[in-house]
Structure 1
Amino acid sequence: MSEAVAKRVLGELVKTSGYSVDQIVTIFYNRDSKYSNKQLSDHLALLLKSVPNGSRYVELFLKSNLKDTYATLVLVLNRLAKDLKDTKKTAPLQQQQQKLQQKPVQPPPQQQQTSAGITVEPLQKRVSVFESPPLSSTRIVTEQVTPENVQEIKEKLVQATSGGGVNRLSSSNVGSLTAANILSLGLNHQAPRQYFEFSHQKAPIVSWNFNYDELYPLQSKNVAAIPMASQEPIVVKELVRCLVALKGSLIMPQKPHSASDPLEFQLSPQLVDSCRDMVKEILPFAANFSCVQQFIEESSILEGGLVLQALRSVLKTLMTDYYLSIAQLDDSRFQRQGELTMQRLLQFLKPLFPTMEELAATVSEIRATNCRGGQVLTLLYDRITATSGTIEAQRVLERLIEAAAVPFMEMLQLWIHRGVINDPQQEFLIEHSAMELSENELVDYWEKQYTIRQEKVPCFLTKYADIILRTGKYLNVVRVCGSAELQPTISPVSKPFGYRHADQSYIDAIEEAYNFASSSLLNLIIDKYDLMGRLLSVKRYFLLQQGDFITEFMDAVEEDLRKDVDSLHPIRIANLLDVTLGLSSAKHDQYHDELKTTLLPYGIVTQISKIMDNEDAFGDPLGDTSQLKGIECFAFSYKAQWPVSIVLNLWTISKYQMIFRQLFYLKYVERMLCRVWIDNNKTRQLFAPSTAKLYRSAFTLRQKMLIAIQSFESYMMIEVIEPNWHIFYHNMKQVKNIDDVLNYHQDFLDQCLKNCMLTTPELLKPIINLCNICIKFCDFLAVSMVTPC
């Protein structure tokens, strides 16, 4: 079954349809079982509509119970190609038969009569398509037998039958032979045709390697009685046959126990020592050739991948050249003239020994390590750099790696110029993980959608693997969501390039493609999707930069947030947010609709611990919230659209939430302390002088608490957030790719979290405890001042 034949037939069929060869191949690969067998058969019927009896091949496709639908298609197309070829062969014969039928019928030849009165019919040559060619140079002339040459025929028959083991003819028997008897015994006698019967049901596999099957035993040769001068041409002939993997009777290959075992030969004991030594010196070359030929035949399976197929192709070309060289040695003219001797054969093969030995060692290592894709290229590259053979052997290895790298470099070109992976056999250095753009998976989309297969990275691309990964990722995002004018249907630098061992121009092509892709995605996110505008919007709400909005919002939700979180209604809080956004200056923010509210099932300390431990920090609806107040669980959330969500993903928003929750809690405590101060100013005149003296220390403590809370709040907003924001804003003006944006943004958030002491639970817990003490103190004063003493 040949895929090349199938694709050639497919190329003829698609001319009359609206498909291309690549589209048909993609359809019948049927990844993820996208098409049913009925749909695939309909596609095949459309392709074969112009083929006579095309429905027969559609039925063959449906009856072939192969799990691989593409392999079934290749089988059907090969059957179609064979039928078309047979039709072309039989067409001339049919035309010839029609011409013969149109000719007038010739009368039968007249019978001739000899002088002895015997009627003799002239012999006619028997024509048959299956007639074997003559096995002897002696020609049988079918002329009329006359009484004059009967005696001559008798004498020849006596001489021919006088050998050992054949009964001699007596004179009486010879005398009884007549012309009629001779014709009946010899000329008109047809011996029964001997047909060969296979000893097994399965037909022998066509192979260019040694055939170890004893189905065709060779006749042994007795060379011991032949003089040494005459023995050498016979040995040379067998040795030449052995060099092209044909076994003989004097040099017999022994079938290895496993594919990794070296090939050994058994020499006939009839060989003289001088010939035996030279044969042993040449046989390693034949063993290496057999090893290469075995690899070529084993790698013909498509599952090996495109790189191995390309390597197999160039090895077949090299072996074809080798065959031609051996064919020149096997020329009958040289053997007749005695020009090809053992010594000359050895001299001819000596320069080829290092090359064939290196090829055999290379394919043996590939087979032993089961390399695929980029691993094969790495192995070839390492052998080139480490080879100690001749310059010619190194050049052959360079030819191998350049040819084997062609499909790999085509996949690389498609990735860095289109952002698309076409890797059916999983041999490319980039791996694609199918992920939907859902809310939860956006957290890891940018990092896990495309990853590097470290084992499939060729060693000559190790330094550029990260650039290659990012180039395709950038173009993939632009292709998915970019506008028509920004989507690069093909990169302007997408000139075909390949691997050359002495030329690294492919590196320049990779860098140019990276620059193009990074600038395209950066322009898309910053210009079209206004990344900085969205980041400023997030800063206003999460970092409390929109002062009037925060004040009005806290006035609206303060009473609700004092309650237990289980008694709160999230819809009510969301409605209060919408009302506050509409009444404050935040209504002029075009992205304020993306701001949402949420009630997390844990406090800020727990959230910090989850994030530091790389746990799920995005909500646990089954968490225990019976002891939590609304103010401890409240937070903002932000629903950024794709592709801005690459920057503002859930991990990033969770970091903003931690800063917001700390600032919002401090702001809440500050408001409670300020309210107590206002209440104190209203009621202090109602106290008696003796009683007012008792409250003076409590008022002093309240003021110290307020100063501490305001100081910490000012530290976070003025000394930490603002300086780091200015650094981040300055860096954003100099970014060259989206990864720089991600890195600068993460650095900004990490610095804010670290300097605000939010990444260290040992420092955060005392601050939270201090805030809780302030709240309890405010509640105590509020209750104590209800009735003046």
Structure 2
Amino acid sequence: MIGFTDHNDSSFIAETSFVRAPLNSRVVSSSVATPKKAQSKGKAKQETLDRVSLDVQQALILEDLLFVLMGTEGIYITFHPDYSPEEEDPLQGIKFVVSPSLDPSLSDLVERVLPLGTYYTAISAFIENRSSLEYGLVNHALCAAIRDMLRDYQTLLAQLEHAFNTSGTFSLQKLWFYVHPTVHTLSLIYQLILELATADDPSNELSSNSSSDSDDSEEAARNEALGLGGAKLKAMLSEMGKASADLASGSGIQVKGGEVLTIIYERMQNMSGDPTANVIYGKLLKQAGKPYVQMLRGWVSSGRLLDPHEELLVKEHRFINRATLEIDYVDEYWDRRYILRDGSISPGSSKRHQTGVPAPRSVGGRMPGGACVPPLLESWKHKILLAGKYLNVIRECGIGVPRDNAIRDEEELSMEDERFYKFIEDAYSHANRTLLQLLIKDQQLVPRLRSLKRYFFLSQSSFLTHLLDGAATELRKSSKSASVVKLQSLLDIALNTDSAGDEPLFKEDIKVIMADTGLYDFLLKVVGVSGVIKEDGGIGEEEPKKEKEEKKSMQAIDALSFDYNVKFPLSLVISRRSLTLYQLLFRFLLHLKHVEQALSSMWTEQKTHPWRCRVPNHVEFTNWRQRVCLLRARMLAFVQQILAFCTFEVLEPNWHALEKKLEKVTTVDELLRDHVDFLDTCMKACMLTSSKLIKACSKLIVVCQTFAFYSSSFTKSANQALAAAAEDPSSDASKSKRWDVLNKFEANFNHWFQIHLDCVQFYASSDNVALLPLVVRLNSVKSA
């Protein structure tokens, strides 16, 4: 025998058999020891075991197993013949095969142990791969937890090697006795890392028969059709960044952050009947969730989003900041600055933001990366989002955010700890309470809303009467010719001379503006009628021409509106959308008020001599005058009833209801919702959300307005009739003309009045019961 030491060495004297000293198998002959290095490179021919005894076979195979358990092939246990390091995915692990010449009684036990080599190589490759920077903190923490478990495995291997080297009774059965619990443990970790490795790209799954050349060609054809096959596009996407490519398909986003925690949690739930799986996955979930929990604690307690790898469920749009709000205060800051990555916008809502939300995974339908909310946090995600939002609003107002020391930073929490959810609840309550106090008390929200009501809802509107009287000449001009500067000066004078009530609050924030579009055309666009707004969002070809003509002919009184200056953070409540609704209601009320004044002026004119004098033997002229006055009275009654209904039965009651809600409001979101609901309710009750009601009401009001414009023409016709009656009653040439004009006005008014009444009755009996009082009012006008 050729050995590495002298045969006379004492360590060999007492060793009489390989059963008592299996370590001698390594120095039996050069034919066994020498090929080791070459065999590992696949260059030497494997030796057969059928020519040696069973004890020798066991000793030889034990030595190989110690190598295989560390991921290295031995002499008689080698890599699978199909294994190729260049082609195989290391995350799938290396498969080993045992020499067919091994005795079947030993081969069965060896086959049971061999999966450990596959598991160990796969897990080691996973740790090495997922420890890179781009996989994020959750993956790093998971790898650290798995590495700690592998230390126990490596300690076991060291003990097994020591037993192999020192104990003459160490056998394959003993090896299996010691490692068989570890087989189950590593298999659990292996199945987990296999799911993590293949979740972002299911095509990576290990299956030698799962993909064929035809599948590859089909996939290549699809990629080519989608423009994903060229190097140019890849370079372009590299320059533009990964963001747009990731959003196109969930498979473009790596498995990280919340998705990792979700996969671990789901596996733990699916294997809840296995105590070992519960322990292993529970420990991994706790350790991997530590950085996630730490980021969440920082967000809900300070409003700072420290998420460099986009793992958290909250996403920040940094381009939306306070500077943009100072120019055009919109609710973009509130709705879009911070959002949930999964796109959900309110509790229980199925709606999602259309932009910025990645597509779900093609397999399983799970949201990718940070967009995947861990199941334990699903019911808390909106409070988590709002807590940080509230704190950011407070901080951007220059107010320091106090830290809640109820739970110290160094105190460890996990997603399965009830204290963690109490911490979230306390942080949310604290942030909500602080911001609510800032808005209502410090920023004087309620007085602001009262001033909006006063200026836009014609409440205590003596200043508006002064404005309309002082600016009558300017308001008769076209909207382009009217001077906004002059109108603003007249508004300031009207506000300063307003004698109704106390000094107007925030009068310096009210500004005169001229709308670009007529009120009713704009409302019809909003509700999408008459093909104005097509299904693709475009505007019809004929509409721009119509709008252009209307802009030229629109009077300043029809375009007059108010703007209101609101600073952050009140702009979150009085947003651009809210202010637009205030403006629409104001323009509608102003139009009614203007028509009412015009009809009232017509009544004043009809008290002059041509309308009051007696004309004997001129029954036709007397009837005509009575019909004109009656029609004017009906029109005035209609306009006054609409104005009174909108003011006293819609705006005032809803405003008082809003005031009561504001006194009891407990959350900022409830405050925002109550304010939006108030405006939406007012718009609906004032008939400004239904296309049929808008068209019928607008036609009717325009008929009344046009009739009032004909006041001087009617007076001229009356003078002509009186002159003709004084000369010759039968020579009244203008009789038929004045009756034609009157009949047209009567026909138009009666037609549109009936249509409007029918529409109001229909909606009052279906989905808008707030219109019921208006039905009674309109019926009184009809019977007049």
Output the TM-score relative to the length of structure 1.
0.69
What's the % identity of the aligned pairs? 28
Q: Deviations over 1:681-703 (max 9, x none)?
A: 13334574534553121011111
Specify the SS of the correspondent of 2:471.
helix
Report how far residue 436 of structure 1 moved.
3.3
- Residue aligning to 1:15: none
- Residue aligning to 2:231: none
1:470-619 matched pairs, under 5 angstroms: 470-483=386-399, 487-493=400-406, 495-496=408-409, 500=414, 502-585=416-499, 588-612=503-527
- Residue aligning to 1:310: 141
Is contact 2:391–2:431 with CA below 8 Å preserved after alignment? yes
The partner residue of 1:717 within 647, 651, 658 is 647
Corresponding letter in the other structure for 1:681: K
Is contact 1:419–1:475 with CA below 8 Å preserved after alignment? yes
- Residue aligning to 1:456: 372
> What residue ranges of structure 2 are gaps of 5+ in the alignment?
8-36, 201-254, 343-370, 721-784
Greater RCO (Cα-Cα under 8 Å, separation 6 or more): 2
1:362-761 matched pairs, under 5 angstroms: 362-370=192-200, 371-387=255-271, 390-434=274-318, 435-437=320-322, 438=324, 439-440=327-328, 442-454=330-342, 455-483=371-399, 487-493=400-406, 495-496=408-409, 500=414, 502-585=416-499, 588-612=503-527, 624=548, 625-683=551-609, 684-685=611-612, 688=615, 690=618, 691-761=621-691
- Residue aligning to 1:159: none
Q: Deviations over 1:78-115 (max 9, x none)?
A: xxxxxxxxxxxxxxxxxxxxxxxxxxxxxxxxxxxxxx
Corresponding letter in the other structure for 1:436: N
- Inter-partner Cα distance in structure 2 for 1:541 and 1:498: 55
- Residue aligning to 1:175: none
- Inter-partner Cα distance in structure 2 for 1:314 and 1:431: 27
* Structure with max Cα Rg: 1
1:118-517 matched pairs, under 5 angstroms: 223-254=49-80, 255=83, 257-259=87-89, 261=92, 263-331=94-162, 333-370=163-200, 371-387=255-271, 390-434=274-318, 435-437=320-322, 438=324, 439-440=327-328, 442-454=330-342, 455-483=371-399, 487-493=400-406, 495-496=408-409, 500=414, 502-517=416-431
- Inter-partner Cα distance in structure 2 for 1:742 and 1:213: 74
- Inter-partner Cα distance in structure 1 for 2:694 and 2:273: 67
Specify the SS of the correspondent of 1:759.
coil
Q: Deviations over 1:384-435 (max 9, x none)?
A: 1111563123201111010100111111001100111111111110000121
Corresponding letter in the other structure for 1:559: T
- Inter-partner Cα distance in structure 1 for 2:510 and 2:518: 21
Report how far residue 336 of structure 1 moved.
3.6
Specify the SS of the correspondent of 1:431.
strand
Q: Deviations over 1:317-358 (max 9, x none)?
A: 110111001110110x54343232111111112222222111
Report how far residue 606 of structure 1 moved.
2.5
Measured at CA, do residues 403 and 636 of structure 1 come closer, stay the same or move farther in structure 2, by a change above 3 Å? same
Report how far residue 504 of structure 1 moved.
2.4
Is contact 2:113–2:183 with CA below 8 Å preserved after alignment? no
- Residue aligning to 1:147: none
Specify the SS of the correspondent of 2:480.
helix
Is contact 1:233–1:335 with CA below 8 Å preserved after alignment? no
- Inter-partner Cα distance in structure 2 for 1:389 and 1:267: 34
- Inter-partner Cα distance in structure 1 for 2:379 and 2:39: 50
Between stretches 748-757 and 624-633, larger displacement belongs to 624-633
Output the TM-score relative to the length of structure 2.
0.70
Report how far residue 474 of structure 1 moved.
0.3
Measured at CA, do residues 715 and 622 of structure 1 come closer, stay the same or move farther in structure 2, by a change above 3 Å? closer
Report how far residue 290 of structure 1 moved.
1.8
Report how far residue 752 of structure 1 moved.
0.7
Is contact 1:405–1:498 with CA below 8 Å preserved after alignment? no
Corresponding letter in the other structure for 1:396: I
Corresponding letter in the other structure for 2:569: P
- Inter-partner Cα distance in structure 2 for 1:375 and 1:590: 52
Measured at CA, do residues 535 and 388 of structure 1 come closer, stay the same or move farther in structure 2, by a change above 3 Å? closer
- Residue aligning to 2:750: none
The partner residue of 1:788 within 715, 719, 722 is 719
